[in-house]
Amino acid sequence: MDFLNNFQLNSLMFLIPSLFMFCCGVYGFLTRRNMIAMLISLELMLNAVDMNFVVFNRFLCPGQMDGMFFTLFAIAIAAAETAVAIAIIINAYRISKDIDVKDLTKMKF
């Protein structure tokens, strides 16, 4: 089969799904009102970025590992960030019995 014979993996093939994932994250972050759902969208975006690091590392400078390390640290930071965010969400839930962002407007002017 011609298609199969000429098929070559290139960077775009990974970047486009990653971009798609990122845009899904953006969409979710903009539309969802549940704070945990927003956090999930945030994780999607973060994951897309991590993937980009790896893809660029692998395709553009294959001999080095900097992109991989960046991803490694980003995962660690994401874990930390999620832990704190969830602590805040639980605290907010305790105060307002809800985790809808619309209700969390006490900090505005």
Distance CA(57)–CA(67), nearest Å, equals 5
Q: Binding to another protein (CB under 8 A): which residues in 51-70?
A: 51, 54-56, 58-60, 62-66, 68-69
Q: Does 5 bind another protein (CB under 8 A)?
A: yes
Q: Does 96 bind another protein (CB under 8 A)?
A: no
> Which pair of tokens denotes residue 28?
């979710």
In a 3-state reduction of DSSP, which class is residue 100?
strand
Q: How far is the CB of 48 from another protein (least distance, A)?
A: 8
Q: Binding to another protein (CB under 8 A): which residues in 34-53?
A: 34, 36-41, 43-44, 47, 50-51
Distance CA(91)–CA(100), nearest Å, equals 13
Gyration radius from the chain CA atoms: 19
Q: Does 2 bind another protein (CB under 8 A)?
A: no
